[in-house]
Amino acid sequence: MAKIIASSVRKGNVLDVDGKLYVVLTAQNFHPGKGTPVTQIDMRRISDGVKVSERYRTTEQVERAHVEDREHTFLYEDSDGFHFMNPENYDQLTMSAEDVGDAKAFLQEGMAVILSTHEGVAIALDLPRNVVLEITETEPVVKGQTASSSYKPAMLSNGLRTLVPPHITAGTRVVIATEDGSYVERAKD
């Protein structure tokens, strides 16, 4: 186990709190005008999926659990969960839909992801920063709209909604940020 200061905790880290493992869902640092800066950490207990929210002073130390981060390839999803394969030794790991969480909307067959494992069990998933998706429907362009300031709603091929510039039409492939589902740019392919 390694001790780290609370302000350096990031989404996806695995913490050991009172002998139980938690995966970090969000970590925010707050610096009020008066008083001590604090770090708000929302976590999910790995053993039973219970979500907890903790506040630490930014200089407090927390235990970071030892996890192995390895690249895996997403294979498929079925009733057992999401299946991933280690490309080095072809071992397969399965994660439940609950553990994958919001990331499932961006998973595509053959996608390389980083899986965090603790004692051979997959506990956390780290997606690539960006994915390429197709626009399935969007509003038509309105003449006179300027491209710099206005965005219009669009539906992506994975079922999520996002905002895109006016010149993007249905059928266009675009790059989407996996962190918040926002439009980055038009796909280069």
Ramachandran class of 100: left when φ > 0, alpha when ψ lies in -120 to 50, beta otherwise: alpha
Q: Are 20 and 47 in contact (CB under 8 A)?
A: yes
* CA 76 from centre of chain: 18
Using one digit for the tens of pLDDT, what is the confidence trace for 130-140? 888 888 888 87
> Which pLDDT value is given to residue 20?
87
pLDDT in tens, 92-150: 888 888 778 788 888 888 899 988 887 777 877 888 888 888 888 888 766 665 555 67
Distant-in-sequence, close-in-space partners of 175: CB < 8 Å, separation ≥ 6 = 130, 131, 132, 183, 184, 185, 186, 187
Residue 110 exposed, middle or buried by CB count within 10 Å (0-12, 13-18, 19+): exposed
Q: Rounded to an integer, what distance in angstroms lies between the CA atom of residue 10 and that of residue 41?
A: 9
Structure tokens at 99: 């553990």
What's the pTM value of the predicted model, to 2 decimals?
0.67
Q: What single-letter amino acid sits at 112? A: A
CA-CA distances (angstroms) from residue 111 to 129, 144, 164? Answer: 12, 40, 24
Per-residue pLDDT tens over the stretch 31-84 = 888 888 999 999 888 877 788 999 998 888 898 888 888 899 999 999 888 999
Half-sphere exposure of 102 (CA within 13 A, CB side): 8
CA distances from 95 to 75, 106, 111 (A): 12, 15, 15
